[in-house]
């Protein structure tokens, strides 16, 4: 019984973390504001090989990962605060713009 309860609690915790909640315009409550060409699940065919090549292990294959990301201030002519692709707030962006982990939608 305890194992079933623990599994249910873990599943609920993962669901709560993975639920995308848009951030306030132009800000992030966690992570950094990024502009990514695409956002895919960590287990997708586009992302999984990159994570494997970098030796990055994620706990959940449904974690959103941004690909080809840059800071929003560097996007557009003159560094304007605009993003014509996917504006997201990401928890971890230590991969030179190649990818960012834990991205949630943001509005500018």
pLDDT digits (tens, 9 = 90+) for 31-78: 778 899 999 999 999 999 999 999 998 889 999 999 998 887 644 444
26: region left, alpha or beta (phi > 0 left; psi from -120 to 50 alpha): left
| Annotated domain spans of the chain | 2-105
The token duo for 83 is 């993003």
- Sign of the alpha-carbon dihedral angle for 61, 62, 63, 68: positive
C-alpha to C-alpha distance for 100 and 23, rounded to whole angstroms? 17
Q: Is 94 helix (H, G, I), strand (E, B) or coil?
A: coil
pTM above threshold 0.75: no
pLDDT for 34 equals 87
């Amino acid at each position: 019984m305890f194992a079933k309860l623990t599994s249910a609690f873990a599943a609920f915790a993962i669901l709560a973390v993975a639920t995308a909640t848009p951030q306030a315009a132009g800000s992030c409550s966690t992570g950094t504001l990024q502009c990514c060409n695409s956002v895919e699940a960590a287990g997708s065919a586009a992302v999984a090989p990159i994570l494997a090549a970098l030796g990055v292990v994620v706990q959940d294959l449904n974690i959103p990962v941004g690909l080809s990301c840059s800071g929003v201030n560097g996007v557009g002519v003159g560094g304007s605060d605009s993003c014509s692709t996917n504006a997201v707030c990401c928890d971890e962006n230590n991969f030179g713009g190649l990818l960012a982990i834990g991205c949630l939608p943001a509005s500018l």
